[in-house]
Structure 1
Amino acid sequence: MKLNRRKFITRLLVAVASIEALFLIKGSVNKVASASATNNLFNAGKASSFDTNKLYPFLTGQFFLKRFEDGGFLAMSFKCTHLGCVVNTNSQTGGFNCPCHASQFNKFGEVLSAPATRPLDYFPITIEKGELLIDTKTPIRRSSFDKSQLTYV
């Protein structure tokens, strides 16, 4: 097989373009992965600014942030686990009510009365430099409340 100058240059250009395309694709995939990891975190503010035994609604993040008596934080979804209606707070019980079908939840998001069959979903919380970062893109389904779901400073 004889290789003339035209075929050599063509093959060389195709090889260089292929290598460049691989680097471009690899770079854009890495940028998307790192950007999406930081965009998923909702910054709720300094942990020290939240009083114990209080509930804080975050409308833009669509979650309730509760700080319990022992200082633990729990971020619970606004959405009822029955059909996805937005739950309201119940100031008398400290829990939540679903206005659509009357499901009730306690302060930990556990079901008190049907038709909901499981507790409110919760979001993972990480603390960096005293700031509460809530991963609102990753709701976690649960069958009951467990103390390990709380995040401490």
Structure 2
Amino acid sequence: MKLNRRKFIKRILIVAASIEAVFLLKDGVSKVDTSSSKELFNAGKADSFEKNKLYPFSTGQFFLKRFEDGGFLAMSVKCTHLGCVVNANSKTGGFNCPCHASQFNKFGEVLSAPATRPLDIFPISIEKGEVLVDTRKPVKRSSYNKSQLTYA
């Protein structure tokens, strides 16, 4: 059997595509769904957080705010414009984005553009007096609502 250049290249491409397909199938089958298992960040005892104070958690990538009424809100450190890390503004109690000058109030709502929506939040649960923040999936929101607060 005579093998010309065209047949040779065609066979090489078929072999390469077959190898790629095997790897894609293997990765798709071997991935385990971890959506049911929670990855909670333990922020600490609920009673150790002072009211009306902001606590940055750089390892968890969020700010934990305890409001005057005792409610907790965990807001992402990422600006909703392009994902830059926002800074806490001690004068206003809100947040500033150093990249494009977006500003947010203490609830994470947009005060000035270019950001168009509030900072994302993370679900909070309080178990045995511990504040647990689910940092796995940030929750996008269009505005602040008191129901977003978690109470001890």
Q: Taking structure 2 as the reference length, what is the TM-score of the superposition?
A: 0.77
Aligned-residue offset at 1:116: 0.1
- Corresponding residue SS for 1:148: helix
Question: For residue 93 of structure 2, what is the aligned residue in structure 1?
Answer: 94
- Corresponding residue SS for 1:48: helix
- Counterpart amino acid of residue 74 in structure 2: A
- Corresponding residue SS for 2:65: strand
Equivalent residue pairs, number = 122
**In 2, distance between residues paired with 1:150 and 1:115?**
26
Question: Which has the larger share of helix?
Answer: 1
Q: % of aligned pairs identical? A: 81
Q: Which runs of 5+ in 1 are unaligned?
A: 1-28
**1:113 and 2:112 are equivalent in the alignment:** yes
Aligned-residue offset at 1:37: 1.9
Structure 1 runs of 4+ off > 4 angstroms?
A: none
**In 1, distance between residues paired with 2:88 and 2:70?**
20
The 5-angstrom pairing of residues 126-137 of structure 1 reads: 126-137=125-136
Aligned-residue offset at 1:33: 4.6
- Counterpart amino acid of residue 125 in structure 2: T
The 5-angstrom pairing of residues 23-42 of structure 1 reads: 33=34, 37-38=37-38, 40-42=39-41
Q: Which runs of 5+ in 2 are unaligned?
A: 1-31
Question: For residue 83 of structure 2, what is the aligned residue in structure 1?
Answer: 84
| Aligned Cα root-mean-square deviation (Å) | 1.6
Q: Taking structure 1 as the reference length, what is the TM-score of the superposition?
A: 0.76
CA displacement, residues 30-65 of structure 1 (integer Å, 9 cap, x when unaligned): xx759x724x10000100000000000001000000
- Corresponding residue SS for 2:37: helix
